[in-house]
Amino acid sequence: MKPRQILCTAMLAVCASTVIAKPLKAPHEVIAQAPEEAWRVVDTNNVIKIQLPTGATYVELNPLLAPRHTNNLKLLARDKFYDGLSFYRFVENFVAQGGDDSGEKPIKYGKRTLKAELTLQSDSPIDIIEVDTNDGYAPRTGFLNSFAVAQSSDGKQTWMVHCTGTLGMSRGDELNSGGTDFYITLTPQRYLDKNTTVFGRVLSGMEHVQRLHRQASETKPFNPIKSVRVLSDISKDDKQRFKVLDTAHPSFKALVAGRKNRPEAWFVAKPNYADVCAIPLPVKAFTVD
C-alpha cells in the first residue's frame, strides 16, 4: 500500500471513530425545553405540608430509602401530633429542628422511637444517575427517583445525602432514639450523612423555614407549627401539586452536563465537575381545579 493510501485510510478510521458531541445547554435552557414526559408528578400521599406562621412548606418523603420513617411521620401527621408544637431549635446555616421538645406529648398512632434507616441495603447493585465518583464522603453520588443520594462502591448500599432542604430524623446519642422530631437542613451538611435517617426534601416553601426566628421571644410563641398534614388527606381543600424533573430522563442528564461545564459566555473556568448538592432538582408547582 502506498504512503498516501495509508494516510487516507488512517484518517478515515479516525473520522469514523469520532463522535461529534452535541453542544451543551445551559441549565435554564434544559429546564425550559424539557418535554412534558420529562416531568414526574409527585404523589400527594408522599407529600407533607408543614404550616408555619409565614406560610406552607411542602416536603416530599422517600419511602424507598426510609419506609418506616416515612410511614411513621404520616401516622403522626394524621394524628395531628405536630399541631401546636414548634421548631424549637434553629442553628444559623445548619438546621431547623422541630417536634416535641418535651418528649411528653401523648401518641395515639405511630411510634416515639424507630430503628434507624441510615442506608438501604440491597442484594444487587441499584442503578443511580451518577454525578460524581470523586466525592469526599462516598465512592459515588448521584440521583435515584429524583432524590440526591450516595452509594457504596459496589452499589449495594444507598443513602440520601444532606443537601439544602433535606428532611432528617433527629436523635440522641443512641442510634435508634429518634422517631418524632425532625430537622430541615438550611445548607448542605454532608458530614451528617449516614449518621441520621434522611427521608425527604423540601419541594416548596424553604423560605418559610429560613424565616423562622433565631431566638425565643417573651411575647409570642417560638416558631409554632400550626399543623402538619399529608397532602393527599387535604387534597379537596389544598389544590397545590408538584412536578419534578425525572432524573431518569435524558433531560436530567443534559442538566448535569450543563452544571458540570457551564456553557454560558460568562463562565471562564469549566471544571467538568459538580457536587451533587450543586444540582438542585427542578420543581414545578401547579394547582388543580
The pLDDT assigned to 23 comes to 82
Domain spans of the chain, in order of start:
41-244
- Residues forming a β-bridge with 282: none
pLDDT at position 51 is: 98
Dist. CA 236–CA 65, nearest whole Å = 29
Distance from the Cα of residue 125 to its chain's centroid = 21
pLDDT at 83: 98
Residue-level pLDDT at 220: 72
Helix (H, G, I), strand (E, B) or coil at 135: coil
Ranges of residues in the chain whose predicted pLDDT is under 50:
16-17
Give residue 219's pLDDT.
65
HSE-CB at 246 with a 13 A cutoff on CA atoms is 11
41-244, superfamily in CATH?
Cyclophilin-like (2.40.100.10)
List, for residues 123-142, the tens digit of each pLDDT value: 999 999 999 998 999 999 99
Closest CA to 74 of 205, 227, 229: 229
- pLDDT, position 8: 52
Residue 4: its pLDDT value, please?
Answer: 56
In angstroms, the CA 166 to CA 163 distance is 6
CA distance 167 to 184: 5
Query: Which residues are paired to 135 by β-bridges?
Result: none
What's the start-to-end Cα distance of the chain, in Å?
75
Which pTM does this prediction carry?
0.91
∠ CA(246), CA(196), CA(221), 5° rounding? 95
Residue of 149, 118, 147, 116 whose CA lies nearest to 132: 149
Of the candidates 210, 65, 225, 212, the residue with the CA atom closest to the CA atom of residue 149: 65
Closest CA to 195 of 176, 179, 220: 176
